Amino acid sequence: MSNKVVFDNEQISDVVKEQQYVHEVYQAIAPHFSQTRYKPWPLVELFLKELDIGSLGADIGCGNGKYLDVNKNVFTIGSDRSSKLIDICASREFESIVCDALNLPFRNECFDFIISIAVIHHFTTPERRIAAIEELFRIVKPGSLVLIYVWALEQDARRKFDKKHQDVIVPWVVPASKNDPDRKEEAIYQRYYHLFKKGELDNLILNTGKAQIIKTDYDKDNWYVVARKKSCNK
Amino acid sequence: MRLVTHNMLQCHVRGCNVNNYPLQLSEVEIEIQETEFNSQFLRSMIRKLEWSALINSAREIGITTLPEVLPDDFDEDFLRNIHRVLLETHIQQGKMTCPNCNHVYLVRDGIPNMLLNESET
């Protein structure tokens, strides 16, 4: 599959791009997206299961909440920009709130862990990706861990991308369904992604000056980093 | 929304950086949903809360059973009460008002909506 380049010729603001190509898409595809997102990724599950009992954390960009009940011995608050996805979390009795990852409504340094799975790649500029990462390190306690996953440019399994273009739109297809009156015909939605090169996420994290990298690797079409917030730096 | 979550929330309107915590609860509707008691989990989690904010917020929703000062030792009665207040008490509807800028965030069907207008961010 080749990727179609977007935005080079479009004179719309970053905010509007994210609204049209991310927020509105997730609002529209929430039920179908949720049906396809039920299985936790093993490494994320392992990260959550190794946390100390009684830990308090947040899943920023939690989608349908599939990580919120992985470990019953920790308390995880889910947050997402999409109210439709949070409605799904609430219907599953998960603790969750609607908010924007660029402007989190949490106190400084109040969490023992943070996960951000497949979220940061939806921000359209380096500045906004950095701001989102800064927010994660603002709310986590010094010495505590943050796990971040983002889509990789180099992915080679289900999808292949032209290595020249990091900013792409990727269609989400909701097939027609006989049992669903809202899905009489197939519908295609366009989602924006920034595809991360090897080391790019690591650099964004290190450049905040707030964290050290504990682990960095490739997993399931994504680059991921486990980073620890430094103790001396507020 | 449970009080654990509320204990982490602060106002995040642009420029509202002081006295923006805790958000004042009003016009709340509460629902109790029973859940499994886990004393080891509770013992550790209690220490992570801002206790004075918690007793204030609990009072705002009609709960007056929390001690002013967090005890050094947690007995079974205390933990059972904390379990009820923190994990089984759900704020289904209500308002959360910033004590500094008076911005109001709404809780609807148990979900706090913390999104701001563009002019507020």
pLDDT digits (tens, 9 = 90+) for A118-143: 999 999 999 999 999 999 999 999 99
Closest chain B residue to A73, measured at CA: B41
Nearest CA of chain B to the CA of A61: how many Å?
14
Among B11, B36, B109, the residue with its CB nearest the CB of A90 is B109
Mind telling me how many Å the CA of A162 is from chain B's nearest CA?
35
Which residues, in sequence order, are bridge partners of residue A78?
Answer: A59, A96
* B56-105 per-position pLDDT tens digit: 999 999 999 999 999 999 999 999 999 999 999 999 999 999 999 999 99
Flag if B114 and A97 touch (Cβ within 8 Å). yes
Q: Do A103 and B10 touch (CB under 8 A)?
A: no
Nearest residue on chain B to A102, judged by CA atoms? B121
Residue A15 to residue B118, Cβ atoms within 8 A: yes
Chain A closest-CA separation from residue B47 CA (Å): 9
Among A27, A71, A97, A104, the residue to mutate for chain B (most B Cβ within 10 A): A97
- ipTM attached to this prediction: 0.96
Between A77, A103, A107, which is nearest B21 by CB? A107
Contact B45 A54 (CB under 8 A): yes
| Number of residues in chain B | 121
Domains of chain B in sequence order: 3-111 (2.20.25.10)
Collect contacts of B53-56 with beta carbons under 8 A, ≥24 apart. B53/B7, B53/B21, B53/B22, B54/B3, B54/B7, B56/B22
Residue A36: the pLDDT is 85
pTM of the model: 0.94
Alpha-carbon gap: A82 to the closest alpha carbon of chain B (Å):
10
Provide the shortest C-alpha distance from residue A169 to chain B (in Å).
Answer: 25
Interaxial angle between packed helices A126-139 and A200-207, expressed in degrees from 0 to 180 and rounded to the nearest 10: 60
The pLDDT value recorded for residue A163 is 86
Q: How far is A93 from chain B (nearest CA, A)?
A: 9
CB contact under 8 A, A53 and B2: no
pLDDT at A151 (0 to 100): 95
Amino acid (1-letter code) at residue A121: H
Q: Enter the DSSP assignment of A190.
A: E
Q: Average per-residue pLDDT in chain A?
A: 91
Q: Classify residue A153 as exposed, middle or buried by CB count within 10 Å of its CB (0-12, 13-18, 19+).
A: buried
Q: Compute the 3-state secondary structure of chain B and give helix, strand, coil in percent, each to the nearest 5.
A: 35, 25, 45
Interface test with A, best of B57, B79, B115, B116 (most A CBs within 10 A): B115
The DSSP H or E segment spanning A130 is helix A126-139
pLDDT-derived band of residue B5, with 50, 70 and 90 as boundaries? very high
> Each residue of B10-49: pLDDT tens digit?
999 999 999 999 999 999 999 999 999 999 999 999 999 9
CA distance linking residue A208 with residue A211, whole number of Å = 7
Nearest alpha carbon to residue A125 among A45, A192, A58:
A192
Domain boundaries in chain A?
Answer: 14-229
Cβ neighbours of B2 in A, within 8 Å = 95
Cβ pair A54:B8 closer than 8 A:
no
Closest CA to A233 of A118, A122, A109: A109
Inter-residue contact B93 to B28 (CB < 8 Å): yes
E strand or H helix at A187, and its extent?
strand A187-194
Residue B56 neighbours by CB distance under 10 Å: 14
CATH architecture of A14-229: 3-Layer(aba) Sandwich (3.40)
User: Are residues B12 and A105, on separate chains, in Cβ contact within 8 Å?
Assistant: yes
A20: tokens are 């049209």
Residue B113 and residue A97: Cβ atoms within 8 Å? yes
pLDDT at site A10? 60
Could you tell me if B109 and A90 are in contact, meaning their C-beta atoms sit under 8 angstroms apart? yes
Mind listing the pLDDT tens digit for each residue in A159-216? Answer: 888 888 899 988 888 888 888 888 888 889 889 999 999 999 999 999 999 999 999 9
Residues B9, A105: C-beta atoms closer than 8 Å: yes
What is the mean pLDDT of the segment spanning A60-71?
Answer: 96
Whether B44 sits inside 8 A of A55 (CB atoms) is yes
What are the residues whose beta carbons fall under 8 Å from the beta carbon of B109, sequence distance 6 or more?
A: A87, A90, B92, B93
- State the average pLDDT for chain B: 96
